């Protein structure tokens, strides 16, 4: 099986969508304080999705332009559509904040809810397509080692505080084995401080049972002697 560079980050992004969607359904959007809390969650979703799309363009689609223009253009176009859907949401968020009455917030809130559902539907299909079509194109021209190197370059370019915002959702979105493999790689190849930070984040984000299972696997992995 070839290396799927999108698996972990896309699981994190999907977890974000699912949890934000439910928060939006639970919020009484006619209520200023309750609505504001849900909308701030949406803003975080939009910010992290937009930044992710730019990274994919820079590190995967643009280098593919000369080799497979059809696939590169397809995904660059989809990122434009994604950006358009996000712009609709940003406009509705501003409009909601300007509403002076509960009824006005209720109506704009409902439009916002429908617009967010469209954003979710588009992105769920888009991420599937990247893992099926884009991966296929990448696998034809790059080795797994090259794809991993590109992924590492992408991570290195991301500021640490932003990386932690993604990491929170990757931890919430991935299964036990994926988390154990990820943190073991960190243990074996990164400074010990990073492992400590990620383990603390995992302890905050996972149920005690899931965290204990992940930690046990990471502890079992031996660090090679110098």
Residue 56 CB, nearest distance to Fe ion (Å)? 5
Closer of 53 and 120 to Fe ion (Cβ): 53
From 1-9, 53-61, 149-157, 165-173, give the range in contact with Fe ion by CB under 5 A.
Answer: 53-61
- How far is CA 196 from each of CA 45, 164, 204, rounded to the nearest angstrom? 26, 13, 12
- The C-alpha atoms of residue 207 and residue 203 are separated, in whole angstroms, by 8
Length of the chain: 226
From 4-12, 54-62, 86-94, 151-159, give the range in contact with Fe ion by CB under 5 A.
Answer: 54-62
Binding residues for Fe ion, how many (CB under 5 A)? 2
Closer of 82 and 99 to Fe ion (Cβ): 82
- Output the DSSP codes for 139-200: HHHS-HHHHHHHHHHHHHHS-HHHHHHHHHHHHHHS-HHHHHHHHHHHHHHS-HHHHHHHHH
* Contact status: 56 vs Fe ion (CB under 5 A): yes
Closer of 125 and 188 to Fe ion (Cβ): 125
Q: Pick from 96, 123, 103, 100: which is nearest to 39 by CA?
A: 96
Closer of 56 and 99 to Fe ion (Cβ): 56
From 47-55, 110-118, 159-167, 192-200, give the range in contact with Fe ion by CB under 5 A.
Answer: 47-55
């Amino acid at each position: 099986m070839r290396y799927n560079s999108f698996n972990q980050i896309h699981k994190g992004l999907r977890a974000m969508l699912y949890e934000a969607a439910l928060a939006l359904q639970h919020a009484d959007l006619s209520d200023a304080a309750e609505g504001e809390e849900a909308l701030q969650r949406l803003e975080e979703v939009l910010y992290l999705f937009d930044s992710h799309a730019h990274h994919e363009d820079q590190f995967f689609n643009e280098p593919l332009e000369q080799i497979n223009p059809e696939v590169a253009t397809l995904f660059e176009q989809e990122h434009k559509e994604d950006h358009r859907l996000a712009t609709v949401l940003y406009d509705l968020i501003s409009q909601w904040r300007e509403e002076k009455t509960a009824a006005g917030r209720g109506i704009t809130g409902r439009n916002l809810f429908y617009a967010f559902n469209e954003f979710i539907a588009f992105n769920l299909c888009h991420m599937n397509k990247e893992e099926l079509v884009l991966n296929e194109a990448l696998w034809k021209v790059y080795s797994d080692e090259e794809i991993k190197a590109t992924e590492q370059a992408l991570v290195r370019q991301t500021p640490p505080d932003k990386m932690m915002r993604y990491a929170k959702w990757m931890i919430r979105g991935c299964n036990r084995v994926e988390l154990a493999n990820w943190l073991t790689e960190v243990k074996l190849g990164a400074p010990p401080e990073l492992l400590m930070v990620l383990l603390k984040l995992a302890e905050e984000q996972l149920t005690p049972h899931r965290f204990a299972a992940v930690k046990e696997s990471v502890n079992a992995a031996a660090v090679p002697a110098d």
